[in-house]
Amino acid sequence: MRRLLVTGGAGFIGSDFVHYVLEHTDDSVTVLDKLTYAGNTDSLRDLPGDRFRLIEGDICDQQLVDHLFDEHDAVVHYAAESHNDNSLAGPAPFVQTNIVGTFTLLESARRTGIRFHHISTDEVYGDLEFDDPERFTETTPYNPSSPYSSTKAGSDLLVRAWVRSFGVRATISNCSNNYGPRQHVEKFIPRQITNAIDGVRPRLYGDGLNVRDWIHADDHSSAVLRILDAGVIGDTYLIGADGEKTNREVVELILEEMGQPRDAYDLVTDRPGHDKRYAIDWSKLRDELGWQPQFRDFAAGLADTIAWYRANEEWWRPQKAETEGKYAKVGQ
């Protein structure tokens, strides 16, 4: 039984990991989360009190981080500013949390020698052409496009340097786009589901033909647990599930599942610098650590996600109007 410290555990993927670990292991979990607009304590409801606790705090607070590292056996680092559109409107918190925050954690990892796993994104590799036969691998050169992805890339490079220079016992994973319950309504899939619930037509940026490589959040969580248990210190692992879809295809599936015409969406102002396509080659994780995704039917996973948003309006409703207000200001 390990004592895990999970940063950003009140967010979408971090909370999925907390639920996953408490269900599938004997480990105990402490969440360190600043509870920004993206953190939601309702995502951590009904967890066993003897194995779970939430500490409200900032990963940039060295004293707090030092204290918590001393009390735990391993750290899984999810905390980040995570939304590309926000990073275009105001990049400062992205630099602070994603870079300075990761630096703060690494300094504690260096002092304590604790096992550290850093959660990152495939966006650090930039984007692929639509007809490129290659997918991202662990050796693809870094080429990030947005303030968000460049700060994630910066944090990955800090982790690599702290491993090499100071012997920090860290691994890194770069995952593709996640979907599932408890994702903030600013993100593509929950935004369109909740728009459709509200009778508002979904909004696609540009021509809607950008491609994302979708993975269910539970598959991301199982992969992270596998890397924490068996990953090689200093190594990077790509996590994906062969889920490439254009944004139009995703919206058409949502509309169909919700009983609306498949073409009942609008094309709106494109995202500046919008990455064309992401695609992950996850064969290293399969071949070296024996991991496989469980959710192979995207339409079925999406239908479950839609059902969750229908059944949990009290979870997302408080965030909806403010989120749409921000989009309205930029014509999206």
- The phi and psi torsions of 245 (rounded to 5 degrees) equal -150, 145
Please give the Cα distance from 30 to 38 (Å, whole number): 18
Contacting residues for 187 by C-beta, under 8 A, at least 6 apart: 12, 83
Q: Please state whether beta strands 74-77 and 115-121 pair in parallel, antiparallel, or not at all (unpaired).
A: parallel
* Rounded least distance, CB 240 to ligand TDX, Å: 11
Q: Does 187 bind ligand TDX (CB under 6 A)?
A: yes
User: Looking at 34, 191, 216, 220, which residue binds ligand TDX (CB under 6 A)?
Assistant: 191
Residue 312 CA to residue 40 CA, distance in Å, equals: 13
The distance of Cα 288 from the centroid of its chain, to the nearest Å, equals: 23
Nearest CA among 296, 152, 179 for reference residue 236:
152
Are 44 and 15 in contact, with CB atoms under 8 Å apart?
yes
- Is 148 marked active-site? yes
244 tagged catalytic: no
94/150 Cα distance (integer angstroms): 9
Instruction: Annotate each residue in 155-184 with x if it binds ligand NAD (CB under 6 A) or - if it does not, as one string.
Output: --------------------x-xx-----x
Q: Which is nearer to ligand TDX, 254 or 285 (CB)?
A: 254
The β-bridge partners of 212 are 245
The Cα–Cα gap between 218 and 129 comes to 28
Which residue number, 26 or 136, has a Cβ lying nearer to ligand NAD? Answer: 136
Total site size for ligand NAD, rule CB under 6 A: 30
DSSP code per residue over 247-288:
HHHHHHHHHHHTTS-TT--EEEPPPTT---B--B--HHHHHH
Q: Residues 8, 144, 180, 293: which binds ligand NAD (CB under 6 A)?
A: 8
Q: Does 188 bind ligand TDX (CB under 6 A)?
A: yes
- For residue 100, state whether it binds ligand NAD (rule: CB under 6 A): no
Query: Residue holding tokens 């967010």?
Result: 11
CA 99 to chain centre: 16
Residue 326's H or E segment, with its range, is helix 313-329
Which CB sits closer to ligand TDX, 14 or 47?
14
Could you say which of 33, 58, 85, 123 is catalytic?
Answer: 123
205 binds ligand TDX (CB under 6 A): yes
Backbone angles phi, psi at 149, to 5 degrees: -70, -30
Candidates 32-40, 133-141, 252-260, 288-296: pick the segment binding ligand NAD (CB under 6 A): 32-40
Q: Tokens 């995502």 map to which residue?
A: 43
Residue 212 makes contact with ligand TDX by CB under 6 A: yes
Catalytic: 122? yes
Judged by CB under 6 A, does residue 33 bind ligand NAD? yes
Q: Pick the stretch among 82-90, 163-171, 217-225, 280-288 that binds ligand TDX (CB under 6 A).
A: 82-90
Query: Which residue in the list 20, 78, 125, 148 is annotated as catalytic?
Result: 148
Q: Does 7 bind ligand TDX (CB under 6 A)?
A: no
Which of the residues 103 through 142 are near ligand NAD (CB under 6 A)?
119, 121
Query: Which residues contact ligand NAD by CB under 6 A?
Result: 7-8, 10-14, 33-36, 38-39, 58-60, 78-82, 97, 101, 119, 121, 152, 175, 177-178, 184
Query: Which residues contact ligand TDX by CB under 6 A?
Result: 82-84, 121, 123, 177, 187-188, 191, 203-205, 210, 212, 247, 271
| Residues assigned a catalytic role | 122-123, 148
